[in-house]
Each structure stands twice: as structure tokens, then as C-alpha cells.
Structure 1
């Protein structure tokens, strides 16, 4: 047994009693729902649905535990309570693989988040031993001509950074309604997704993303852990468990295992650590996209190149010029001070996303907890100035035609970081309808 205390993945939790900057109060104890179930001689451990848009169907992998001899699996699929599939198959392999075609096709998307209900039961001699109920969405995620595509059609990402902190529970939401309200806030802003930043969120949050139509980049909380080989397997065990747990959520379109790990550019062990985790993720889940090391420094096995840049407070012209230089550096290696990859990185036309920008405060707002104010650049005087700066930055982003999307920092304030559209206790600081109006000016 090795004690990793002090060198462990903890995300944005600050190990100090008094957090500072963009890290926050640490969490201990159980912060997501847990439960126990009694099982008989055999039970359904889990299932995975691999949607196949082209064939208008899906592949189902059902993992059964216990005594599987003589078992039959019954599969039912419904769409808005209408039964579409009802079949039975003997459990001759584990996992049991079933290919099925859907007689009615409704593709999942942020505009039309249609979901199929799935019911599974295992039977022996006519007696049901176990049954489970879930859902899935029929959708595909891919890269088409340098753009991110949903169901083979390019989609422009309009995201906000969502860190999953709550003033009365830190990592733990007070109730499921609070999770739903955060998802609904995304829709009110005219956005279509979130970066769920440095936190594998409560699955009930992803449920509302699935139901309401919000795309997700799900991130691992890698901050706090050194990229030394001793941590590789323990970190992978956590990554693997998260991916398996959240596999069936159609809202999740990308995995992000690392964030802003600068040492990969000068430490070969750290770089190999990132590369190995990324290769394992692609083997485990080939159906989604991967962002290797968000923001900087990208090392190679990545489907998306993303950029973090908080210079937008300096104005439209400056912001646009910086973004152009960052992409120029990506393609040519120059200017070096704007580099977002390791030196030997070969750009292969991956989509480019501005996945962190903004971060502005508005004068007059104070933290509702005992923290110093932390924002990016000088705060604006009021909501009107915020909208002026926001319009200018969106104009710069829109005119950078190479961008496939953006993610604003952030959805709501967190402790002393006062740069959200909302306060920490989820009160609007800016009119979401005005922000949504601005967002309508950008996209494919």
C-alpha cells in the first residue's frame, strides 16, 4: 500500500485551509449518491449502448455476473412509451452482444434531445432474476472537414465553463433541482454545452444534459497529481471508472483527462504519462472525441486543439490578433511565445476551439464567502460595459473563421472567483436574454 496523500488528483480543490486564486475549498466524505442492492444468483452488472446512426440502430453489450448457465436476456426499447423492440436472446457469452435496428429513428441533438428507453431483464425457467431500466440517445460524434460534427453535421460549440461547486455543499449539489437549474441556465444563455471542468460530475447532472439537450466535455480532476509514472495506474483506474460509468450519456461528446500541464514540454516522463492515458482512453471509448491537455501544451494524440486566452479585456482588435498568432504558431511554430503545443507537434487539421476566455468581473459584486476577489483583467463598471466587452470579443471570435467553437469562463462565480454570468448562489449578474442575443450572431 502506497500513501498518495499530497500527490493525488484533486482538481480545483485547494489543499490549504485558506484557498487562493482559482482553487477552492476542499471536500471530504461522500459527495455523490451511493446505494446498495441485494442480488440473487445472477444479475446485470452494467450495459453499454453503442449508437450507430448510419445503420439506424445500435449495438448493446450487457455484462452479467453470477451463474449465467441457462439464462435468457430480454430487451425492450421504447420511444415516448411506444414499444419498438421486444426480443429475447440466450446468454451464451459475457458480455452478451446484441445488434438491433430501430424501426423509428430520432437523432439526439441539443435542438431535439430525443431519448430511447431501454429495459433489460435476465430470466431463468421463466423467472426474472434481475431487471434494469435506462435510456440512450442515437447520435454520432466525429470530425468533418476540420469541424466537430454531431450526426455528421458540423456544429459550432457555444460553451460555458461549469465547475460544479455549490455554496452550501461544495462538490455536492443540495438537490437534483439545483443540478437541473444549472443546465437550464446554459440553455437560457443561448449556449449548447459546457466544459464540466476538473470534476466528474454527479450522473444526475448528465441526466438533465441528456434530457434538455446540453453537450458536455467531461474532464478529470488531474490537478494536484504529479505526472510521475508511479501515479499512472491509480489515475487510469479513476479515468476508466468514470468513462464506464458515464458511457451511455449522449450529451458527453469528449473526454478531457488533463488541463494546462505545462511540464510536458520539457519533461519526457510527464509527456509519456499524458500520451499513455490518452491512448488508453481512445481504446476504451472510440466513439467520442479526446482533448489531450486542454489549453496548452498539446502533445499529439488529440482530436481537438483548444486554446486558453484571457486577453480579451484589452479589446476586440488585440484579442483577434492574439488568436490569429496562436493559430499561426500552431501551423508554423512561430511566433514561439504563442505556442500551444510541444515543439515537434504535427498539426493535422484538427478542429480548433477557444475553450477558455473572458473571466471578467463586474464592479460592486463581492464574494458571499470569505475570499479575496479573483478575476481576469480589470473589472467592468456595470452590466452595460460587460455587454459591450462581450460583443467585441464575440465579434473577434466570429471573424476567426478557423475556430470551431468557444467556452466562456464561466457559468457562475465560485467562491472568490467572481467572473460568472451568475453569482455563486446562482443569481443573474447579466441578462441571459441579452447574452443569448449576442450568441445568435455566431456559428456555422
Structure 2
């Protein structure tokens, strides 16, 4: 029999924690683990529920979708799954009521207890429960049978399940005991002045007096209300205050943990819960005619990631609670302060970790994919109500997104409908827009304390929204810069931009709700460096006072989109920023106080010239207001392996006021040689604490043949593509001949002319310098013919991304290494060898990015190598003194070899021979 998890031979229950830490009772029993299972294919006759155990031919691990590896089934088909389990358990208190609870089951289900019908539920994301008190045998065995059917109907709320289907039970299942009178729910509304408004729902099976107690903060917050309960549902409104309240924020996520307790003649119901005191809003500041998003009455700049919440083994169900915590930690580690939970309802335990660790959440409502007919609308509305009822108390949630990119809102060709004129396929009809408006307004009534978005648009199609958002996927500095500027310019109250016909903008805050370079590149980006693009995009966002946040696509790679901050398994990608500014990480680009570099990521400039770089101040935090901050800057460059500081300086800044304002520009004199120069800046407090870091780069060109460098002796230069022979099975040049590649093993030969006697009468020594990396061969490098299939919509639903055949793919540097060894030979004699640790690509490949020919077609973008230096032995030098010629052989093992020339990689050099 399949077991759930084994440690030292002991079977453990998967996901053993109580599933709802925001509403937790002590007397409960997990039903996660191994259940009997049988599959009923779609289209076959429905079996009766009372089938014998022998008809169940498989076992499944709950709570994992039957399509996922962790379920032990890994069956991909739609249809119905029958679950069966024998359970012996009784409540701790005699006379308790017993509930069978489900986190979520996709899509419709029926449940029987001991051959008696317990209840049914429809909807793939909502939590539900059945009162099974009268069906349960407290002193014996109980047979639970569940039939879950998932037909992928176009009216179902499915979201983006193509990565890994939700099939059947996919969140925890448990039994829970309660007294005859119990608190069914409590809605907390908090005010930053400490006022707490609670609406409690009490279910009473016995009438009479009761006491409802609230106790939080270790007893520091306490309130008691006397009640007279009537049979059935009782609603109680309570108001109490917290003295000197501690506010919840991402920086200080304080939770008032405690309990709600109902005492009556039939017993005491105690529910452990918590609340966070915070207020979400929008406000105008100063003379602006637009709003910013506020947290606790102050502006907040939202740095966010799109979270697909997908993993390789459980799909949309996390393997462990620790995995959920780690996701929140990994986002906060980057300096992010929020995430967008993308078109799925997140598990309550993950929302708990967002509450506990301090990450704001933009929660999407899952969409359906068919026409928005009456059936689809009714089911959507029922499930949206479940979302609000379950998650409304989480302080981390600041926004609800009701629809995404008009998915499920467009109606098919209506030619068969003779009551109207023919309409082209898939139109967002005015009546559907009116329905979306109604949904938005209904959501505002359900929760007036948070921001609500009608539709997170990529087709400029808002109707009414608390957030004026838009999506874009573009690559290239100039295109990103002009696009963002256009959106900002066309955003103002009354503007029809970004809204459906007949609707106009309000003064709602402007923010981006999806961005990135994955779909801004022809055929999709494959797997490529995003560090270069990300940095200039952050600068462009922060350049605009009107913009108050973004959502980057995405938190982790998924199976067909590789522009995550992390790999799918959580491994780091290496952005390389610390090589430009010591200590710099992604978090520096997410600082609430930030110095904008209003310039391209790299500029070509003549050696020795003075260049001016514009700077802006962007502040969405008041923690440094009224203080002096210091701007430190430094211009540095590498000269053949030695770092030089050309200039450095410092200036004081008066730091006061929210928003974006200009600073005096920086003027620097570039070095007198070929170099990649780096202008690094740091914003510091008076005590020297770093607030944020940033940088920009310059390709400094001397204009001299072969380049000019600060080096003694004479330099001979050979282009990397100027080899006279090679023995690699696969060889090609890239970046207009400034990079040459060979693999999997072989050698390049170069004929080199050394300085003649007029230049150098006596040849005393030779040093060879070159930039090289390993060469990881992809399928597109080894296959002949056109084998790449460009992406289309199915890629967004999990279709093969065809990554190794994608012409844009060049794997971004991460924790994995692809090592190679290169041996250096002069006239056939080995004089040195190098271990090339990797075939990297990230922001350090400045020249490979700067000299891309097209922004939407990447060619080995961001790739770079390692500076290799070796001296030729004196005995060989003496022999070469006569001929002034040599044959250089670079021989690579199985890891291959990439050589970088003047306009490629990290160092502005070709093959250099420094002769003395």
C-alpha cells in the first residue's frame, strides 16, 4: 500500500498542521494521508456510492490532487475520483457536534457517511463543511465516501491550471468538534486609532444566556459581551478598543493573537484567532490630481511579484507547511513587500505566513474560460462569496482582483443568434462590461475596507476600479521607457485611456499589475538573463511620481516561463549586481527611498570625455524625513584584471517629502582607455547605514585599432573569430563575430603576429589575456534544420516551452555550474590551463547586452566569461624573438569553449598579447 511520508520507517501524516490558523479549534482530527481510490473516466456511467472496498483498486495520498506526483496516482485525465476511508474518532466532549471539513475539492463533490448522504458542494477553490453529528458512530468505525468530479467544463472557475491540474481533493480534510452553541465566524474590522469592530455569527442549538469573550495580546486586550441566544443563527456586533495600538505593516507585522470564547449552558467554544491593526486606502498628497496607495495613512510603494503558487510535486498544493513559509521568506528576502496570488485562491496557511512574516497580498479570484453566460456568472458569484467569507480577516490581503486580462469575459461568435447582428469572435460585450461593473460594486459592499480591482487588464479595458492598473511585456530600454511614459501621460481623471468605451478614469492610483520580458521577446524569452532588463525597468518605474507600484512576472520559474527571481525549486538566480556595487542585491532596487538613475543601462562614450548622468530622488517612506542623507558615488573600471577608481565623491541631501523630485546631476570624466566603466552610487544615512544602491555603465572606447589599455610594453590583438582552424563538432560565431563558440570539445587555432623589431627590438616576455567561458550546448546548437515552434496561448497553459530550441534561450546564471577546462598551447607546447567554472549570463555581461541588434530577439544576451591570463615561459619567448610569430591553440574538454571579443562579454578586449 502507498504511504504518505515515511521517516525511519514510521508513516507520518502529510500536512499535519491545523489547516486554518486564523480560526483554529483544539478538538480536531486530520484526515490527510492514505485513502482508497478508484477512478471513473469521464463519460462512463456513474457508480453507486456503496461499492465495496474491493472495488477501490488504488490508494491516494490526501490532500494532493490526483494528477500530482505527491498523490501517488499521477493520473492526468478528467473524470470522477472516488475516495474511501474508514475512520474511528470521537470528540473529547460528549454531546459535541461533529463537522467534516474540506479545504477545497475540485470541482463538484458528494459525501456519504456510513452509507448516508452528508452533503454536496460545487466549486473548486472554496472551503466547505458538513455537520455529520447525526451520521457519525462515536464508538465505532465510520466509512467516509467522497465522489469528486472534475470535467473541465468551460463554466468552471479554473484559473491557470495548465501547469498542473487541480483534480479532486487538493487541500486538507479534517474532522472538528464543537459545542452545541458555537461561533461560526467573526469579521474583524480594525482602525489605526485602535477601534476594533467585530461582527460575530453564532450558531445556537440551545437557547439561553451566553457570554462572548474576546482576549488578545496575552490578556492586554479583553472584552466581554452578555448575550441571549435564540435558536439558529445569531449575529452579534461588538466594538472594543486597543490602547496604544501596534500597527501591522510589512516592516513590523504585529499580530494580536488570542481567542474568541463563547460560554453557554452547553459548554465553552474556544477559537484561537488573531487580527492585525492596519488600514488600506488611497489619498491625494500635495497638489497632485491623482492618488497614491496608502498603508496606515501613509504612502507605500508596492514592490511585488506574480505568484503562480505552483510546485513540481504537489502542483498547487504545497508539500509542507515549511514550503509555504519559505515562499513568503524568499519574497521578503528580495525586498518585496507584496505579491499577487495569481488567479487561484491561496491556501489559508500560506496567507497565515504572509500575515505573520509581513507580506501584503493582492488576491485574485480564479476565472472561467468559457462564455460569460448565466450559469458561469452564477457559479462565479457563489465562489467569489466563498473567497470573501474565508479570507476576509487576513491583514496581509490589501486588494481583491475580480478578473484577469478579460479571461472568461469575452463571448464567442453570435452568428447563430438571429436577434442581433453578427459579432466577430470573442468580444467583450457591453452587457458583460456591465456585469463586471456590478461584480466590482458587489465586492466593494462585501469588503469596503480594501481596494477592489474590476479586471487586471492587458487590453486597456477597465470599467470601474480602485486601482488603475495595466500589464505590459516589453524588452529593450527605449521601448520600456517610452511605453511607461505614454501610460503615465495618458493617466488622469476623465481620461478614456485604459478603459472600455463609455467609461473613463477616476483619480485611482496608477500601478502596473504585470510586467516582465518573457513575452516581450519574439517567441517568448526562453530561459534567459533578466537582471539587465530588471534594473532599467525599476529605474523607469521610479522615475514617475504618479506610479506607485508594480508586479513582476514572476516569483519563481514555472514549467514554461523562466523569468522568475528563483528557479522553480527555489534555487537562486545570480543577478551579479554586487560586482558593480559591493553589497548590492535586488532588495536595493526595491527600497522605499531610492536614487533613480535617469539614463540607459549602458552608454557608449569616447575615452577621456566628461559625461553627465541625471539623478532623481524617489521617496515613499517618511523614516528619513527632516534628516540629512548622503549620496556617495564612485567611477571605477577594470584594466586587464586590475580595478581602478577614477573618481569618487559625496554630497549631502536634504531628505524630505514624498514622491519624485530632481537632484543635481553627476558629471564624471571617463578613463583614457578602452574600458567598461561603472558609476556606482549609494544612499546612506548620517551614521553610514546603506539605504539603497544603484549603478549605470559606460562602454568607453579609445578608437585605436586593437584597443588602448594601461599596460607596459606593446599589445598585439587578434579578433576571437579570426581563428585559422578549429576541430569542434559544433562551432558558430555570435554577436556579429565578437563571440565564437565551440563544443562539446575541440580546439581553436590562431596565427599571431607579434610586434616587429622596429616596435620592440628585443622580446623579453609575453603575457596572453583573453575572456573565455564554458559552452553549454543546447539542442538548437546541435540540431540541423528549423525545429523551434513559436509560442502561442497554449504555452500559458503548460504546453512544452521548447526551451533549448528557442533562439532567445541562454540560461541565466544560477546555482548550477557547467564547467570546462581549457588548455593553452604555444606552437603545440602547453603553457597553462584554466578551469572555466560556468557558461554564465547575467547583468555582468554588459557588452553582450549593449550590442544586441534587436531588443525583441536575443542573441546569447548577457553571456560573459572569465578573464584568463598566462605568461609564456622565457625559453619559448627566446625562440619567438626570432620569428615574431606564434600559433596559439586553445583546447577545450567536454565543457566546450566560448571566447569573447571587444564587443561581447564583460571585458572590452579581443585576444591580447602583451609583449615586453
**What displacement does 1:86 show?**
4.2
Q: Give the equivalent residue in structure 2 for 1:201.
A: 346
Distance in 1 of aligned mates of 2:395 and 2:494:
36
**What displacement does 1:124 show?**
2.0
TM-score by length of 2: 0.43
Q: Is the 8 A contact 1:75 1:118 kept in 2?
A: no
Q: Is the 8 A contact 2:492 2:507 kept in 1?
A: no
Distance in 1 of aligned mates of 2:522 and 2:307:
17
CA displacement, residues 138-164 of structure 1 (integer Å, 9 cap, x when unaligned): 111111110111111111111011011
Q: Is the 8 A contact 2:351 2:394 kept in 1?
A: yes
Structure 2 unaligned spans of 5+: 1-107, 109-121, 123-150, 285-290, 411-426, 578-583, 595-617, 621-916
Q: Give the equivalent residue in structure 2 for 1:84.
A: 221
Which residues of 2 match residues 217-256 of structure 1 at below 5 A?
217-256=362-401
Q: Counting strand residues as a fraction of each chain, which structure ranks higher?
A: 2
Aligned length: 412
Which residues of 2 match residues 340-359 of structure 1 at below 5 A?
340-359=498-517
Q: Is the 8 A contact 1:73 1:120 kept in 2?
A: no
Which residues of 2 match residues 131-210 of structure 1 at below 5 A?
131-145=270-284, 146-210=291-355
Q: Is the 8 A contact 1:330 1:341 kept in 2?
A: no
CA displacement, residues 114-156 of structure 1 (integer Å, 9 cap, x when unaligned): 111231222224x633221100001111111101111111111
Q: Give the equivalent residue in structure 2 for 1:39.
A: 178
Aligned to 1:307, what secondary structure does the other structure show? strand
CA displacement, residues 50-72 of structure 1 (integer Å, 9 cap, x when unaligned): 11224x22011111113352232
Distance in 1 of aligned mates of 2:269 and 2:457:
45
CA displacement, residues 144-195 of structure 1 (integer Å, 9 cap, x when unaligned): 1101111111111110110111101111000110000100011110110000
Distance in 1 of aligned mates of 2:546 and 2:400:
22
Q: Does 1:391 align with 2:535?
A: yes
**What displacement does 1:332 show?**
9.0
TM-score by length of 1: 0.86
Q: Give the equivalent residue in structure 1 for 2:567.
A: 423
**What displacement does 1:25 show?**
2.5
- Which of the numbers 548, 553, 561 marks the counterpart of 1:409? 553
Q: Is the 8 A contact 2:362 2:398 kept in 1?
A: yes
Distance in 2 of aligned mates of 1:375 and 1:57:
54
**What displacement does 1:82 show?**
4.4
Q: Is the 8 A contact 2:154 2:371 kept in 1?
A: no
Distance in 1 of aligned mates of 2:182 and 2:564:
45
Q: Give the equivalent residue in structure 2 for 1:308.
A: 471
**What displacement does 1:333 show?**
9.2
Q: Give the equivalent residue in structure 2 for 1:8.
A: 156
**What displacement does 1:399 show?**
1.0
Distance in 1 of aligned mates of 2:523 and 2:562:
6
Over 3 Å counting, the alpha-carbon distance change for 1:266 and 1:169 in structure 2 is: closer
| Higher relative contact order structure (alpha carbons within 8 Å, sequence separation ≥ 6) | 1
Aligned to 2:169, what secondary structure does the other structure show? coil
**What displacement does 1:295 show?**
2.2
Q: Give the equivalent residue in structure 2 for 1:58.
A: 196
Q: Is the 8 A contact 2:499 2:505 kept in 1?
A: no
Q: Is the 8 A contact 2:309 2:341 kept in 1?
A: yes
Distance in 1 of aligned mates of 2:541 and 2:228:
53
CA displacement, residues 248-294 of structure 1 (integer Å, 9 cap, x when unaligned): 10000000010000756741232122122111111111111001100
Aligned to 2:216, what secondary structure does the other structure show? strand
Over 3 Å counting, the alpha-carbon distance change for 1:4 and 1:377 in structure 2 is: closer
Q: Give the equivalent residue in structure 2 for 1:324.
A: 485
CA displacement, residues 27-58 of structure 1 (integer Å, 9 cap, x when unaligned): 2022222322233321111111011224x220
**What displacement does 1:388 show?**
2.6
Q: Counting helix residues as a fraction of each chain, which structure ranks higher?
A: 1
Q: Is the 8 A contact 1:160 1:409 kept in 2?
A: yes
Q: Is the 8 A contact 2:355 2:394 kept in 1?
A: yes
Q: Is the 8 A contact 2:493 2:504 kept in 1?
A: no
Structure 1 unaligned spans of 5+: 15-23, 362-372
Q: Give the equivalent residue in structure 2 for 1:365.
A: none
Distance in 1 of aligned mates of 2:278 and 2:154:
41
Aligned to 1:118, what secondary structure does the other structure show? strand
- Which of the numbers 416, 437, 440 marks the counterpart of 1:278? 440
CA displacement, residues 349-375 of structure 1 (integer Å, 9 cap, x when unaligned): 1101111111449xxxxxxxxxxx998
- Which of the numbers 248, 268, 281 marks the counterpart of 1:108? 248
Q: Give the equivalent residue in structure 2 for 1:369.
A: none
CA displacement, residues 286-321 of structure 1 (integer Å, 9 cap, x when unaligned): 11100110024443331001110111x211x32121
Aligned to 1:35, what secondary structure does the other structure show? strand
**What displacement does 1:100 show?**
0.1
Distance in 2 of aligned mates of 1:137 and 1:5:
39
